[in-house]
């Protein structure tokens, strides 16, 4: 059983981590888009030409929220909505050339930042950390999927 002191210590470092990520995101990586828009672009960069419903699932957001995010990205010229000829009820979201360019800048900035940070950690420590971090994120996802909304 994990002690409450370890839980408190973990939460303290997690809050600090969140603040550091926020500073890094606002100063280096988001290229003039909000963090939510940035996350949406990164999901589209992984798999472009995706339905609004599927994008909402991948972002863990409801469809109406993602629709508003996409509307903002359309206004910025970073994504387009496309209605396929074979299914007129579906809307696919695709990156524009400008959107692809912004994604490349975001990825390059983040890659450089984290490469600099991670290069300062001894290799054996880094391997353990990344594996542990993946486990924590996975366990958090499992816990959140089991959680009921009050």
Domain-embedded: residue 148: no
Mean pLDDT taken over the chain: 89
**Is this model's pTM higher than 0.95 or not?**
no
Instruction: State CA 52 to chain mean position distance.
Output: 16
Q: What is the CATH number of the domain that holds 16?
A: 1.10.10.10
The answer to whether position 136 is within a domain reads: no
Could you tell me if residue 137 is inside a domain?
Answer: no
Say if 142 falls within a structural domain: no
Residue 12 located in a structural domain: yes
Overall domain count for the chain: 1
| 145, part of any domain | no
Write a three-state SS string for 82-137. Answer: ECCCCCCCCCEEEECHHHHHHHHHHHHHHHHHHHHHHHCCCHHHHHHHHHHHHHHH
Residue 18 maps to a domain: yes
pLDDT on residue 143: 87
pLDDT computed for residue 32 by the predictor:
79
Torsion angle, alpha carbons of 104, 140, 20, 32, to 10: 40
The kind and range of the H/E element at 142 are helix 123-146
pLDDT at 25: 75
Q: What range defines the domain where residue 82 resides?
A: 4-119
Tell whether 55 is covered by a domain. Answer: yes
Q: Is the pLDDT of residue 92 over 70?
A: yes
Tell me the H-state helices in 25-96. Answer: 35-46, 52-59, 63-75
pLDDT tens for each residue of 30-47: 677 888 899 999 999 998
Q: Which residues contact 42 (CB under 8 A, 6 or more apart)?
A: 103, 106, 107
Cβ atoms < 10 Å from Cβ of 112: 12
């Amino acid at each position: 059983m994990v002690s409450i002191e370890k839980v408190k210590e973990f939460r303290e470092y997690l809050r600090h981590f969140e603040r550091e990520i926020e500073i890094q995101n606002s100063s280096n990586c988001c290229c003039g888009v909000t963090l939510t828009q940035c996350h949406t672009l990164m999901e589209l960069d992984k798999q472009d030409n995706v339905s609004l419903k599927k994008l909402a699932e991948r972002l863990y957001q409801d469809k109406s929220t993602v629709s508003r995010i996409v509307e903002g990205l359309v206004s910025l010229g970073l994504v387009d909505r496309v209605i396929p000829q074979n299914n007129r009820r579906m809307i696919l979201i695709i990156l524009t050339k400008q959107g692809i360019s912004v994604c490349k800048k975001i990825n390059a900035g983040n890659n450089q930042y984290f490469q600099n940070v991670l290069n300062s950690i001894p290799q054996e420590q880094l391997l353990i950390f990344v594996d542990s971090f993946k486990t924590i994120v996975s366990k958090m996802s499992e816990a959140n999927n089991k959680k009921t909304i009050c």
